[in-house]
Amino acid sequence: FQRLSSGLKRSSDNLTSSISAIFTKRKLDDQTLQDLEDTLIAADLGIDTAMAITDKLRAEKFDKDVSTDDVRAILAAEVENVLGPVAVPLSIPIATTPFVILMVGVNGSGKTTTIGKLTARFKAEGKSVLLAAGDTFRAAAVEQLQVWGQRNDVEVLTRPTGADASGLAFDAVAKAQETGTDIVIIDTAGRLQNRAELMDELEKIIRVIKKRDASAPHATLLTLDATTGQNALNQVEIFGQKAGVTGLVMTKLDGTARGGILVAIAKKFGLPIHYIGVGESIGDLEPFRADEFARAIAG
């Protein structure tokens, strides 16, 4: 919680200082409620949640003195309300071996780093892991995954630059089946410049994996960079349907002023949020918890 709380300090400082500025020596009236709503929307929380908070405050406190603490308490409660249902751990049934995870997300969103962090978690739980460097377009991406593979002491399957990623994904699933490996994590390209091509490639990877295991991928995780704010919403829309995203990992929640976007995404899409990234190191991935996030963002 300490990491998350200090990570979200910029988000919560922004919010609480704006809230304090609104509620100095003022009784709750239409103007203060409007100012509060604007502040919450500017903090990327989303219109629905902003309105739910101001409605609740109006119902409880209209024409009465309101302290910043009152507002923060209502803010935290509403955020927890929204996040509770989506704070779902990634469940990996023992019977599903190999459990195939497809990682999707735009370049720079923290996909490769998250794969490295996830691998460390799985290994700590005693599971064996195989990685597939499916971003065959970028040599640097392959090398980066290999570094994470070495760090975690797990094998990384690669293909030459430009090779077909779906063939690699197929081989990875086959190899894990043959060797009894518990988990396969497949990295993918994230070139949003050519959206149609990218989506075709993802669909093809999924199609081809299914030839080896009809129930795979068992999880398709989308990494979202919290610092991109509203862009993250678009990315869920873009990847959500075509790639069949089953859950989210929100990265870079350390030091961002835009952490509120997680609430807007939860409200709009209702997709499970499994993990959050709170730094660049191998241990900086935490299971997502609604109450902690709510407390951290409300300051």
Per the annotation, binding residues for GTP are 105-112, 187-191, 251-254
Instruction: Pick the piece of the chain touching ligand GDP (CB under 6 A) from 25-33, 87-95, 251-259, 260-268.
Output: 251-259
Tokens at 131, concatenated: 């990685």
CA distance 26 to 52: 21
Stretch in the footprint of ligand GDP (CB under 6 A) among 78-86, 94-102, 247-255, 288-296: 247-255
Using rule CB under 6 A, residue 112 touches ligand GDP: yes
Residue whose C-beta lies closest to ligand GDP: 277
Shortest distance, position 299 Cβ to ligand GDP, whole Å: 20
With CB under 6 A as the contact rule, the residue among 9, 61, 72, 111 that binds ligand GDP is 111
Give the footprint of ligand GDP on residues 124-163 (CB under 6 A): 144
Contact flag: residue 280 with ligand GDP (CB under 6 A): yes
**Residue 277: CB minimum distance to ligand GDP, A:** 2
Residue 277 sits in the site that holds ligand GDP (CB under 6 A): yes
Least distance to ligand GDP, CB of residue 226, Å:
8
Helix 261-269 / helix 230-242 crossing angle, nearest 10 deg = 30
Residue from 72, 252, 258, 295 in contact with ligand GDP (CB under 6 A): 252
Measure the CA–CA gap between 36 and 24, rounded to whole angstroms: 12
Bridge partners of 99?
Answer: 183
Question: For ligand GDP, which is the closer residue by CB, 105 or 299?
Answer: 105
Range 172-200 burial, b when 16+ CB lie within 10 A, else e: bbbbbbeeebbbbbbbbbbebeeeeebbe
Can you give the binding site for ligand GDP, defined by CB under 6 A?
Answer: 105, 107-113, 144, 190, 223, 251-252, 254, 277-280, 284
